[in-house]
Structures are given as C-alpha cells and as structure tokens.
Amino acid sequence: MVDGLLHPPISFAHRGARSRRPDNTIEAFRLALDLGATGLESDAWVTEDGVVVLDHDGVVRKGRRGLRRAAIADVPRNLLPPHIPTLEELYQSCGTSFELSLDVKDPLAAEAVVDVAGQLDGALEHLWLCSPSWEQAAEWRQLSDAIRLVDSTRLRRIKEGPERRAATLADCGIDAVNLHHTDWTGGLTTLFHRFERYALAWDCQHERVMVALLGIGIDAIYSDDVEVMAGVLDAFLR
C-alpha cells in the first residue's frame, strides 16, 4: 500500500450520479453527494450572454422538432433547455464544501468559472480546472493562486516522457495530471508524487480497478458508479 499526497483521496462523481439520474443535472449532483461522493465532475461552457453552464457536449438542439443543433456559446441562457444548470445554481444547491472538477473545453470559460467561484466563500480552494493542453492550463494560473490546475491527457501523448512532463507541470504551477486508469502504475504515481504533483485517474468503473489504484497511491478517482466508489473509499479509510 502506497500513500498518496491527498488524505483522503477524492471521489469524483462523473457528471453526478449519472447511473441514477440524468447526467449533469442538479438532481444528479445532489444525489452523488448524498451517496457519499466527495467531489463532482462536469464540463464548463459559457453562453452567448456570458453565463457559465454545465453540459457535456456544449451543443443543444433547437427548433420545434429539435433537428437543428447550436453551440451553447451561440445561445443565451434563457433559451437553453431547463435541465442544463448554471455553475451558480450548482453552488446554490450543493454548497461549496465539495471538490469540483471542471473540464474547460471552451478556454473562454475558465475566467468566468473563477469569477463565479470567487464570489463564494471556500469555492476557489475546492476548484479543479482541467484541460487537455498543459500550456492552456498554465495560462489560467494568473486567474487565481487558490485553484488547482490539471493536465488531462494520456500516457501515449506525453512524447517527452513522464518525468520531463512532471517537471514541466511543477515549473508551470499545474497541480495534477489526470490519466486514464489503465495508464497508471505504482512507479508512475511515485514519479509524479516526487514532483509533488497529484495523480488523478478517470474512467474508474469497477471495484477492482478502484482498489488497485488506491493501493498505488492515487489521489483521486472519477467514476459513474458513485455507490461503488463511495464504498471502496470507505473500506480504504478504515
């Protein structure tokens, strides 16, 4: 058993309790926390009128028959489907004490997200902003010293090698690397921890996978199955 940098590790509910409720809805987020998740995961977009909303694809259907598609960036908040929540509504409903991991697929959303979180006590300290581009994530450090920045990638995409990437992330103020669970090994978590970078694992859908990851010192897991994830974390902490 290897200790991670975070005690206890974070259990991120991927798009909320999506196995029990429609994903990326307030109901799914609330239920995930009720079931024991310590973190929530979603994707952040900005509407035409500058409102941060949470949705996976960033595209909505328009028209009476829903045959046309439009980017959220081209639609004002009041014309979006009602099930798509704003970031402000998430905080109003769930508070600010949970960890929040947001994939920022629209780079323009990062500043707007930080602006919303910055108006609430404790929200920035629990905010993790993720990007597939570490260079993009590094630019967000100027937005706040309190937020955590995450390089979301795959091991095969790290052409320079994981040790050099870990050193780069440390130099740029990026706090964590998020890899698919199949990429992680005990040696790799140890490597990133040596540079004091958090090790996060996504797509963790089975108990055996979660147990193995916690055993090698992973700092956070992302899963659709909140109940299984919460049970594994509870057993790990006993």
Residues 207-229 pLDDT 10s = 999 999 999 999 999 999 999 99
Q: Does residue 24 have a pLDDT over 70?
A: yes
Give the model's pLDDT for residue 61. Answer: 78
What is residue 65's predicted lDDT score, i.e. its pLDDT? 52
pLDDT digits (tens, 9 = 90+) for 58-109: 999 765 555 688 999 999 999 999 999 999 999 999 999 999 999 998 888 9
Residue 64 pLDDT = 55
What kind of fold does domain 10-237 have according to CATH? TIM Barrel (3.20.20)
Check residue 143 and give its pLDDT: 97
Lowest mean pLDDT, pick from 20-24, 74-78, 147-151, 185-189: 20-24
pLDDT at 192 over 60: yes
Please tell me the predicted confidence (pLDDT) of residue 107.
Answer: 85
Annotated domain spans of the chain: 10-237
- Pull the structure tokens for residue 229: 């994830």
**Maximum CA pair distance of the chain?**
56
Token digits for 159? 């052409």
What's the token pair of residue 184? 């992680």
Q: What is the pLDDT of residue 173?
A: 97
- Strands 198-202, 59-62: pairing kind: unpaired
Q: Among 124, 126, 91, 100, which Cα is nearest to 13's?
A: 100
Cα 78 to Cα 57: distance, rounded to the nearest angstrom: 18
**Looking at the predicted structure, is the pLDDT value of residue 197 above 80?**
yes
**Res. 53: pLDDT tops 70:** yes
- Specify the pTM: 0.95
Mean pLDDT on 30-35: 97
DSSP string, the chain: ----SSSSPEEEEETTTTTTS-TTSHHHHHHHHHTT-SEEEEEEEE-TTS-EEE-SSSEEEESTTS-EEEEGGGS-GGGS-TTS-BHHHHHHHH-SSSEEEEEE-STTHHHHHHHHHHTSTTTGGGEEEEES-HHHHHHGGGG-SSSEEEEE--GGG-TT-HHHHHHHHHHHT--EEEEEGGG--HHHHHHHHHTT-EEEEE---SHHHHHHHHHTT-SEEEES-HHHHHHHHHHHH-
Mean pLDDT of the chain: 95
Mean pLDDT value across residues 139-165:
98
